[in-house]
Structures are given as structure tokens and as C-alpha cells.
Structure 1
Amino acid sequence: MDARPRVDKLHGMSSIARALLLLERLVAIDTTSARSNAPLIEFVRGELAAQGIECRVTVEGEKANLHAIIGPRVAGGLALSAHVDCVPVEGQAWLADPFALRRQDGRVIGRGACDMKGFVACVLAMVPEMLAADLARPFHLCLTHDEETTFRGADRLMDELGHDAPPPALCIVGEPSGMAPIIAHKGYASWDVVFTGLSGHSSRADTTANALMAAAEAVAWLKAEARRFATQGRRVEGFVPPYTTVHVGTFRAGTVLNIVPDHAAFTLEVRTVPGDEASEVLARFVAQVESAILPELRAVHPESAMIVAPRARAPALELDEHHPLLALVQRTSGSNSRGFVSYGTEAGYYQRAGIPAIVCGPGDIAQAHQPEEWIAESQLQACCTFLERLIEDQVRGTG
């Protein structure tokens, strides 16, 4: 695929036409989580370089982050942040090539079109307007990797901001929200859990350490913990559901019925409302296993164990409803709402780094991760209008 800069073709086009052309190019680059996102990062770097904008690209293996500053390198900047990795398409019922953008009945269809290359395309489409404006404060364009898996890109980015210039003062994460401001989301943490025991014939279960049954007992405790949160746990109205959730998503163990399994594995996630900590849930879980489950296995096979390995972690987001950032986004988006969502984003990383953050971007989260993923052209237009107003604000320096 030709990934050369197309800036020459963007001049003279409307913002929505530019966004659609750029989105076509972005979707065509397969950045599903098992693949490198470097080709897309290089495409964006080329687009920006052709307009005289330098980028800081940091590479980790086959993955990369990009940070570009548009405007004066002064304090008070506004970050426009997005991840560029996508979920896989295997096993989904797509009607055509997921990486060839299609337009149909006001919808733009393709993997990542909604989550969240549509936002990236709109930001890139508005760069000429940013450059033409007399900005009092800069825009920071932040693109990350692996949000769909480990959040590793956002975690690394926090160390990179402020390297060559003052870091942004505020951040807008453009996850699909229907262009409505989101001021809070749950925290997220997940782990791989592995039980090991001792195999043998099922007729002599007394001489074996059944890892599957131990893991199942552990999952039963997690189910009880999930029930406790639902009935007795902290409640934060605005979230759906308004309490912390505990979920086991996969379970793998056993080969045939008459062989006792010596290995069992499952994946665990916890989504916390503000005030709850996933680390505390994990600590209670480990204590329960160590005191009530593993001793029975170790009585037969002392080497029996449970191994817990972190998969991903995303801090919760909680922006005060009186913060000026909410007023700014309400004014420029035209939406006076202030929503709460249960899914995680990278906004919590900015908040943890001392940069107040909010979520506002084009598209409907219900379309994310789905076959025939789509975003409405009207949402892309609304995002371009939103960015135009943000540019005006950065010129005035009144946000």
C-alpha cells in the first residue's frame, strides 16, 4: 500500500472530505492487536512532516507511540489523544474486506472506523487549520499502541510527555461517545491465573492434585465476590452497573475424563468504581486461595501452586463536574451532558499523571469491536466542527 503523504491532495477540500480520505488510508493499515502499528505511525509522521511538523516517535519492539506538538511550545497545551490499535476480525461475519473502507447510507464501514481511527482522521484533517491559526497555546497529538490489550502504550507515553516542551495541561481522549462529554469511567485490571497440581488416573484421585477442581473452586469464590459487590458493595450512581464487577472470561483445563488435570488456567478482570481498588480484590482472592484451596493440593503434591500474572491495568477516570475542562468540551461539542461509562480508556493515565482528562469523540461505542464496524458520517462532521471550535479557543487562550 502506498503510504506516502497525501497533503497535496487535501488542500482545497472540506474538512469532512479530508477526514474521509484520511480515514480510508488509516483503515487500510491493519493495526489489529497482534500486528505492528508502526506502518500507521509512519504514515501519520509523513503527513505531519509534509506540513513542517516534527514528531517524537518512540518504539518498543514492533509497536510505537507518536507525540507531536502543533503550535507554540508553551505551557497550557491541549492533548488530543487516541489509540491506533484495533481488535481482531477473525471469526466475525464481515460482508467485505474489513480493511477497505466502505460508505453506505451515511455510514462509513471498516475495522477501526469507530474505535478509534475516525477521531484520528478528523484530527489530521484539521491540522491545516491548526497551522493557519495564531494559536496562543499548542495542540498535542498523542497516538498510542496496545490499548485493546495491555494499555502499555499509554503507560509509556506518560513518561514521554514533557520531554522536549511543557506537557499538555489538559487532555481530550477521542473514544466514541457520540460527541458527548464523559467525565468518569471505571478502572480496569485483568490477570492470567494458572493452577498447577499433579496428574494421574482418575481412579486414584487420592494420589493426585486436581488443578481443574482447585481453579473451579477459586472461580466460585470470585463469583461470590461479584455477587457481594452487586448486593453490598459501594455504589456510584451514573455507572451501569453502579458497582464494581468481577468477571472470569476464559477457562482452559483437562484432556480426557479419566486423567486428573495438573494444569488449569483462566483469565480474570475487575472493573472498579471510584473508591474501590482492583489490587484489594486481588489480595483477598490470593489470600483465600492460599488459606483454603492450595493446602489440600499441597498435602498431596507440595509443589502445587497458583501463579497470577498481570495482563492489563487502566486507572479509573473521575473529573470534577465543576472543572473548566468539562465546560470547555460542553461548549465546543454543543452537548451539555456529563456522562459516566463502565468501559475503560486511556484518560485515567493522563489523570494519574496530573493532566485533567475527559472523553469525547465521534461514533457509538455499541459499534466498536463488532463485525461491520461503522461510524456515521454525521459524527465525523460533528467532530470536525468540535475541533474547529477548539482551535478558536486555543487562539483566544480562554479554555
Structure 2
Amino acid sequence: MNKQKLLGDTIEILGHLVSYDTTSRNSNLPLINWVETRTRGLGAVTRRIPNRDGTKANLIVSFGPLTKPGGIVLSGHTDVVPVDDQDWTSDPWTLVARDGRFYGRGTCDMKGFAACALALAPHMAEAKLTAPIHIALTYDEEIGCLGAPSLVRALGLDYAPLDCVIIGEPSDMRVVSGQKGLAVYQVEITGKAAHSSQVQQGVSAIMEAVPLLAKIYMLADQARAKAPKHSSFEPAGTTITIGVLQGGTASNILAQSCHFIFDIRFELGDDPKAYQTSIAQWVEELDAAIKLKAPEGGAVMTQRSFSPAMLPETNGKAEAMARALTGDNSMRAVAYATEGGIFQLGGLSTVICGPGSILQAHQPDEFIEMSQLQACVDFMIALVQRMRGDSGTFLS
């Protein structure tokens, strides 16, 4: 077996993974079925961890001596963001090669990493591993890391003690030690519909939302002004953004309802609760004001998701492993959220290192460079070699 063959296998597998539309609103089970069938044929031990209604599942694929401590987890999420209203030049669900790049939804974020791990699966199965290697695939990372907690609980309760978790989010195959946390909230405002010429007869939910939106905008400015001068993050400090705003039915009707979704991305050491508390108080005040004019109306704020920050570890096994495999000794942190903080809270040493650039994630014509896939394949080869009990090599 040679590196070129492994790269070819990776590209073939990536094509299969991309062909499954695993947008978070859809089930990921067709993809899970495909991976499970493929890896069971190699002798892997697999375990599904379904969501409550059974429409989605996490999957743990294990190779090696399962009862031995010191195992490694290669973690990636199966869901992708929507392609709605994006201008793609090719079918997002078909892997397309152009000029040394592979285009398709999820190629970068983050099916490329999963494809590299699965390409090495036959060699994980054949090797005399000193400790297990687990390929862990989760659901609903893109809408709040909803699948990861149950997977982390299972790893902690039902598997031999693990040495480290490597999360393959796009980092250009560089080692990332820390990430910002993410809290996402939704505000729903209910008014009273009426003809727009008769404003005294109703309450426009959109008009009531405007002052609240302005306050959140100012709060975001205040958070940005407090950003530390010396920070590992770009951008530095806590950021607050409103990503969704919807409501109303026609220009001549006072809007019966509207809602918006905002997120708080917080740097290590900053407390998102301070921002959340201020906004929650403003929502309560708005609720009371609307009810004075329309008792059936009001405003309510709910938390949609929370992903804790991932902290750099002192003498962390995951970081040591990733640095040994890549040769990268630079310190860096990222502003995007991953499942890393959830793994850390579960007591697992965790690091981020995966192929592709975050600048391509979520974009139309998302792509991953062939050189990045090759670098990740090399990483996986080195990992399997490191975990082998014998001194032989599986590369010709």
C-alpha cells in the first residue's frame, strides 16, 4: 500500500460522504448506514447513539484492543450547513475536482477529515494496535453541538480510559489549542395584527423589535471595545451577532409576530452570562410594554444551544500527540466553536487539527485542497504507525 493509493481511497470515500445531503434539518442515517456497513466489513466494532426520536445518530467505530487504556478518538461531525440561496457553480452534493481542489458541501467542514480516517480504516483493522483507535461521528454540530454530549458520556462510561481526542475541524492541519465558546438565543415577539393605516388598533411586532435590536447592537459594540489587547483570537474578545430576523406578512399589515436569533461568541475568561442577563432583562421589559397594549402579545427569549470554550491544556496528551504527528509547535486559538469544549468537560484531553481552511467553510463552492487531504492522510499514517505494537510498516 502506498500514499498515492491512500489518497485515491480518501477521494473516493469523500465522494460518497458528500453525496449524502446531511444538512442539519435532514437525517444523517443514510451516511451512518454507509459508514457502518463499510467498517463492519473490516471487522470494526460499531456503536450507534441515536437522538430521542431515532432520526439521527452518533456513530463510534472502534479498532484494536477495546479493553486497553490509552485509546485515541478521531472526531468529526456529519452534518453540514444549508446551500439555500447560495450561488454554486456545480452540484453541491457531487464531488467535483478542479485545479487541485475538490468542491462540494462538507468537503472542508468536515467530511474531508472523516474520509481520511476511513481511508486508513483497513490498516487500523490489520495493525496490532497497542490501544484502540475510535472514529467518532456526531450529528447536529452545526446547530449547537447537540449530538456530542451523549457521545462523550458513552465514551466516558463504556470505554477503556482514553488518552486524547483529535477533532478534525478545518485548521490547515495546524494544531489548535483553544477555541471560543458559543451561546445561541432566540427572541420571539408577538404583537397584534391590524391595517397599517390604523396603528392605534394593533401592535407591530417588528416595530417593537427595532429598539431591542438597537440595544443588542450597542452591547456588541461595548463587548468589542472591551476586547483584550493581547489575544490569541481573531477577532479578539467577545462578539455578538444577529444572524436571523424574520417576521411580517405584508407592507400594509402590522406584523403579528417576528423572531430573531443571535449568538454570543466568548473568549476564554469572559462570562457570556453578563451579556445574556442584560438582553434577557430588555426582553422582559419589552414583554411588559407590549402586554399593556395587547394582552395577548409579548416577548420571550430562549436559549437554543450552548457550546463551552475549549481551554489550552498544560501538558495535554492530545496536544502532545498532534504536535508529534505534525511537527507544528506554534500556539494558536480559533474564534469558531467546535465540540472540543464538550469533550474537555467530559474529562478528555482534546485538540483541534484537521484539513482545510475555515475560510472555505459554509461558503458557496466550498472546497478542500488536494494538498490538505494529502497532509491529513500523512497524519493518519503517522498515527497508525505510532499506535502499532510492532515495528513494521504498512507502506511500500
TM-score of the alignment, normalized to the shorter chain, above 0.5:
yes
Match of 1:94 in 2: 88
Contact 2:7–2:374 (CA under 8 A) maintained in structure 1: yes
The aligned runs of 1:68-87 (5 Å cut-off) are 68-73=61-66, 74-87=68-81
Matched residues, number = 387
**Correspondence for 1:48 among 34, 39, 46:** 39
Letter in 1 for 2:362: H
The aligned amino acid for 1:30 is D
Structure 1 residue 297: deviation in Å?
Answer: 2.2
Deviations 1:299-341 (A, max 9, x none): 2233432122332321111122543432321120122222211
Residue 354 of structure 2 corresponds to 361
Q: Counterpart of 2:379 in 1: which secondary structure? A: helix
| 2:260 alignment partner in structure 1 | 266
The CA distance in 2 between the partners of 1:57 and 1:48, in whole Å, is: 13
Q: 2:105 — aligned with what?
A: 111
Query: Residue 91 and residue 385 in structure 1: after superposition, are their counterparts in 2 closer, same or farther (change >3 A)?
Result: same
Q: Paired residue for 1:5?
A: none
1:371 aligns with 2:377: no
State whether residues 140 and 168 of structure 1, in contact with CA within 8 Å, keep that contact through their aligned partners in structure 2.
no
Distance 2:195 2:92 in 1: 48
Q: Report the counterpart of residue 145 of structure 2 in structure 1.
A: 151
Deviation at 1:274, TM superposition (A): 1.2
Counterparts of 1:92 and 1:210, CA distance in 2: 31
| Matches for 1:1-399 after TM superposition, within 5 Å | 14-60=5-51, 61-73=54-66, 74-202=68-196, 205-206=199-200, 208-233=202-227, 237-291=231-285, 293-320=286-313, 322-395=315-388
Q: Which moved more, 1:97-106 or 1:111-120?
A: 97-106
TM-score by length of 1: 0.90
- TM-score by length of structure 2 reads 0.91
Aligned to 1:4: none
What is the rounded CA distance, in whole Å, between the counterparts of 1:11 and 1:180 in structure 2? 24
Q: Supply the AA of the counterpart residue of 1:104.
A: R
List gaps (5 residues or longer) in structure 2.
391-396
Q: How far, CA to CA, are the matches of 1:236 and 1:92 in structure 2?
A: 36
Distance in 2 separating the partners of 1:87 and 1:349:
21
Equivalent AA in structure 1 for residue 293 of structure 2: V
Unaligned runs of 5+ in 1: 1-9
**Structure 1 position 218, deviation (Å):** 1.1
Question: Contact 2:65 / 2:129 at 8 angstroms: preserved in 1?
Answer: yes
Contact map agreement 1:210 1:297 (CA 8 A) in 2: no
Residue type of the alignment partner of 2:139: H
- 1: distance between equivalents of 2:2 and 2:321? 29
- In structure 2, what residue type is equivalent to 1:77? G
Q: Given the superposition, is the C-alpha separation of residues 331 and 89 from structure 1 closer, same or farther in structure 2, using an over 3 Å criterion?
A: same
Following TM superposition, where does structure 1 have runs of at least 4 consecutive aligned residues deviating by more than 6 angstroms?
Answer: 10-13
- Whether contact under 8 Å (1:212, 1:254) holds in the other structure is yes
Over the residues paired in the alignment, what is the CA RMSD in angstroms? 2.3
**1:179 offset after TM fit, Å?**
0.3
